[in-house]
């Protein structure tokens, strides 16, 4: 009888000790930021994508969303695409470059010379806003280039 009681006490003690070692940690959802686009016959693939916001001092206290994608191409490592939505409200939608709701710029660097290609027309669209990310697409044209089939997936700024 003493061995049975002693065994039960040891078993309960082990359960208490080991249950204290089990840690519950929150599940962390990470995303793999991405930005891609076709620039003529060149495929732009970003090595890193950085979302940010800028609080403007306008009369209606708007926030501008800026998404910058940096090139992963070894021939053009300083190339980048910068998208911005003027009155960002953390919702889905499509913003027009022609109407001034959004802007887009493609920076192309060869050697020490950078050409800045401002969008003359096009759109920037956010198709999905989650608790951790912004997913969307874009296309725009400059005076000499067409940037098409653009897409991005970034964390929240």
pLDDT by residue (tens digit) across 32-53? 899 999 998 899 999 999 999 8
Q: Is the pLDDT of residue 3 over 90?
A: no
Q: Which residue shows structure tokens 């970003």?
A: 46
pTM confidence score: 0.78
The span from the CA of 10 to the CA of 123, in Å, is: 69
Q: Tokens for 1, please give them.
A: 């009888």
Q: Tokens for 8, please give them.
A: 């039960």
The span from the CA of 70 to the CA of 30, in Å, is: 20
Q: What local confidence, expressed as pLDDT, does residue 157 receive?
A: 85
Q: Tell me the CA distances in angstroms from 98 to 4, 18, 130, one per residue in order.
A: 83, 64, 28
Strands of the sheet with 63-71, listed across from one edge = 93-96, 121-129, 133-141, 146-155, 34-39, 42-55, 63-71, 80-85, 102-110, 113-118
What 3-state class would DSSP assign to 56? coil
User: Nearest-CA neighbor of 39 among 66, 69, 84?
Assistant: 69
Q: How many Å from the N-terminal Cα to the C-terminal Cα in the chain? A: 66
pLDDT category of residue 63 using cuts at 50, 70 and 90: confident
pLDDT category of residue 29 using cuts at 50, 70 and 90: low
pLDDT category of residue 62 using cuts at 50, 70 and 90: confident
Q: What local confidence, expressed as pLDDT, does residue 98 receive?
A: 97
């Amino acid at each position: 009888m003493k061995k049975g009681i002693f065994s039960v006490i040891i078993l309960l003690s082990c359960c208490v000790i080991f249950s204290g070692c089990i840690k519950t940690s929150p599940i962390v959802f990470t995303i793999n930021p991405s930005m891609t686009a076709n620039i003529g016959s060149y495929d732009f693939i970003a090595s890193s994508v950085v979302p940010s916001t800028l609080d403007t001092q306008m009369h209606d206290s708007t926030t501008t969303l800026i998404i910058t994608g940096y090139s992963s191409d070894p021939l053009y490592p300083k190339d980048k695409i910068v998208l911005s939505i003027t009155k960002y409200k953390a919702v889905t939608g499509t913003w027009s470059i022609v109407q001034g709701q959004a802007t887009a710029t493609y920076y192309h660097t060869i050697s020490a010379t950078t050409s800045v290609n401002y969008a003359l027309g096009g759109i920037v669209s956010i198709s999905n806003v989650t608790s951790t990310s912004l997913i969307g697409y874009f296309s725009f044209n400059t005076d000499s280039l067409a940037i098409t089939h653009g897409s991005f997936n970034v964390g929240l700024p």
